[in-house]
Amino acid sequence: MNTANRNTIWSGIFAAELKKLGLESVCIAPGSRSTPLAIAFAESGIRIYTHSDERSAAYFALGLARASRKPVALVCTSGTAAANFFPAIVEANYSETPLLVLTADRPAELRESGANQTIDQLKLYGDHIRWFVDVPAPEANFSKHLFRYLQTLAARAWETSQSPLPGPVHLNFPFRKPLEPIDVPNDRPAWLDATLLSALETVPAQLTFSRPQLSPTKEQTDFLSQAISSTPRGLIVCGPRCPAGNFPARLTELATRTGYPILADALSGLRFGAHVNEFILGGYDTFLPAPLRPHLILRFGDLPTSNALSDYLDSLEEVPQIHISETKRWRDDRFRVTHSMWCDPLLLCESLLSRSDWQSDLHWLPAWTRLENAVWDEVRAMRAEPDFEGGILPDVLSQLPAGNGLYVANSLPVRHLDQFAQPDQKPVQVFANRGASGIDGTLSSALGAAAHLPGLVFVTGDTSFYHDMNGLLAFLRCNIRATIVIINNDGGGIFHHLPISKFEPPFTDLFVAPHGLTFEHAAKLYGLDYVCVERLSLSSALKRSLASEKPTIIEIHSDAAKFEQLRKELNRRVKEKSVG
């Protein structure tokens, strides 16, 4: 630890404590006022990722935290640098992603003084964070009490970012000059000798927390077991970000025992993996609405990606809908949930599975699988059409090695994944920024995830890619290996799904907003391989890219209007089969 002055000691103690607590990664945007923090993390041995653009840095940290399922620290200087973190913090809030946001600041006497690069950073991110602390400025020869305070602060921030509701924590660090590791006489506390300094890196953390398990009560288990026993025709709906670990396997076992089909969102963690069997369904966005009417619905995870599924759930008046969640956060924008159950979903499944078998309706699952099979028959046939943009995600999934990562951008790509990706026993880790569902920062988020999952594939639209091209610098600076697939339909292709598409001329100019760009020069600027292919040649191009050590951009030109016609034709064919 550098002990040149109060700032380096203060920051070094804090960084050392976070390392003992388990911090593995920190993303740093260079700046002057944050020098003490940057130096401390550099000397701590924690993995550092540097980014010139604060917005890209924040989204990179978000993607890394999501893929690793661990908090990531984020450091910047004072002023608008901190404001550029804001979009990613909003996403982290709503997607429950743990971030430690460490902003440097001017000391109190310089605030509201006209000092350069000084803004009001107190509670800058409002209610989008779990906890805010304006950390005291370091003092010369500070007391042991403040030493313990700083250690405890690190532990509390670490824990609060993860429990009970994961999300971002903001600590604002004011520093007076000198910011660099310049020796300042009498700054180092007399009690902080070499022995104690050495022990800082070896003794356990000053404070650790133990978390309770939210085990279901007997009343909760009895209630749900009785509801299932009296309802042979039930349905399980899994939205994005369901629990990981053993949850998919246990819930699938519960579905098998009860006879309840699972409508598994592509981002739920249920659609891909060894647990997948005939109860896991993914074609619902195409075949809904359907005449099938369940008498009980069990819901897990966030709101579905599919509007068709949300509309279907909304149409089921007087059907009990039970939502099970460990975080107690509300996830029902149609207000159809009739019972919110606060407990660990995995423990609830295991408790239910310990009960006696339920009597299932033998005709219920076949009625759903007939609709499901009709979807995949038509999707397979439609994938032969060159203009069928919906075939891109299935092509990508077919080439991904087992266990690989897939990140999808918002607007059309995430909807293509949800509608056209068939459930598969091959495990794939799938991510998207569906907390606030913005198009900003998705490239940087994907590269952050690729730092944990080398070889990850990111599928994006052209507008989302353009919005975050600064993030491409992470390929070189952070040594990232990934493949980017750009679906270039020259603007906002998703608006072709909406009624506004019938209103020209404002539709093209104000909504699609065509740009006429291709991205070969962006790849060249950052030293990436580039290839432009027809959709039917994607699989071979992707296979080559996955075998290469060099990052690649694969661009596919698409006609959004033609694809929308094909998508409607696909839906029509499936509906005809459903009626038949």
Query: Which residue, 314, 362, 322, is CA-closest to 342?
Result: 322
Q: What does the pLDDT average to over 25-41?
A: 97
Can you give the CATH number for the domain in which 554 is found?
Answer: 3.40.50.970
Look up the domain containing 311 and give its range. 218-371
263 and 394, same domain (yes or no): no
What integer pLDDT is reported at residue 406 of this predicted model?
Answer: 98
Q: What does the pLDDT average to over 522-537?
A: 97
Q: Please give the Cα distance from 24 to 205 (Å, whole number).
A: 15
What integer pLDDT is reported at residue 195 of this predicted model?
Answer: 81
- Tell whether the model's pLDDT for residue 465 goes beyond 90: yes
The pTM assigned to this predicted structure is 0.96
Residue after which a domain boundary falls, among 143, 168, 199: 199
- Tell whether the model's pLDDT for residue 348 goes beyond 70: yes
Residue 580: pLDDT band (50, 70, 90) is: low
Q: Please give the Cα distance from 494 to 172 (Å, whole number).
A: 39
What integer pLDDT is reported at residue 178 of this predicted model?
Answer: 97
114 and 146, same domain (yes or no): yes
Q: What does the pLDDT average to over 97-126?
A: 94
What integer pLDDT is reported at residue 357 of this predicted model?
Answer: 75
156-183: pLDDT as tens digits: 999 999 999 999 999 999 999 999 999 9
Query: Which residue, 165, 164, 139, is CA-closest to 150?
Result: 139
Residue keyed to tokens 């313990």:
148
61 and 109, same domain (yes or no): yes
- Tell whether the model's pLDDT for residue 102 goes beyond 60: yes
Residue 211 resides in a domain: no
Residue 572 resides in a domain: yes
350-394: pLDDT as tens digits: 999 998 778 889 999 999 999 999 999 999 999 999 999 999 999
Q: Please give the Cα distance from 160 to 26 (Å, whole number).
A: 17
Total domains, the chain: 3
410 and 349, same domain (yes or no): no
407 and 289, same domain (yes or no): no
79 and 182, same domain (yes or no): yes
Query: Which residue, 352, 342, 323, 322, is CA-closest to 214?
Result: 342
Give the DSSP H or E segment for 253: helix 247-258
42-51, 219-228, 502-511, range with the lowest pLDDT: 502-511
Contacts of residues 320-325 at CB distance under 8 Å and 24 or more positions apart, as own/partner, are 320/227, 320/295, 320/296, 321/297, 322/224, 322/227, 322/296, 322/297, 322/298, 323/299, 324/298, 324/299, 324/300, 324/348, 325/300
What integer pLDDT is reported at residue 79 of this predicted model?
Answer: 96
Can you give the CATH number for the domain in which 322 is found?
Answer: 3.40.50.1220
3-state secondary structure string, 50-94? Answer: ECCCHHHHHHHHHHHHHHHCCCEEEEECCCHHHHCCHHHHHHHHH
What is the crossing angle of helices 345-353 and 247-258, to 10°?
Answer: 40
- Tell whether the model's pLDDT for residue 305 goes beyond 70: yes
102-116, 192-206, 249-263, 265-279, range with the lowest pLDDT: 192-206
290 and 407, same domain (yes or no): no
Structure tokens at 205: 């953390």
Give the count of beta carbons closer than 10 Å to the beta carbon of residue 429. 20
Residue 63 resides in a domain: yes
Residue 492 resides in a domain: yes
431 and 334, same domain (yes or no): no
As a whole number of Å, the end-to-end CA separation of the chain is 74
What integer pLDDT is reported at residue 117 of this predicted model?
Answer: 87
333 and 249, same domain (yes or no): yes
Residue 560 resides in a domain: yes
Residue after which a domain boundary falls, among 371, 406, 421: 371
What integer pLDDT is reported at residue 2 of this predicted model?
Answer: 87
Q: What does the pLDDT average to over 245-258?
A: 97
Residue after which a domain boundary falls, among 371, 403, 432: 371
Residue 150 resides in a domain: yes
What integer pLDDT is reported at residue 334 of this predicted model?
Answer: 96
Residue 204 resides in a domain: no
What integer pLDDT is reported at residue 181 of this predicted model?
Answer: 96
What integer pLDDT is reported at residue 505 of this predicted model?
Answer: 87
113 and 185, same domain (yes or no): yes
250 and 136, same domain (yes or no): no
Query: Which residue, 416, 531, 414, 536, is CA-closest to 483?
Result: 531
471-481: pLDDT as tens digits: 999 999 999 99
Residue 28: pLDDT band (50, 70, 90) is: very high
213-234: pLDDT as tens digits: 899 999 999 999 999 999 999 9
480 and 456, same domain (yes or no): yes
Residue 377 resides in a domain: no
Q: What percent of the chain has pLDDT over 70?
A: 100
Q: Please give the Cα distance from 175 to 39 (Å, whole number).
A: 14
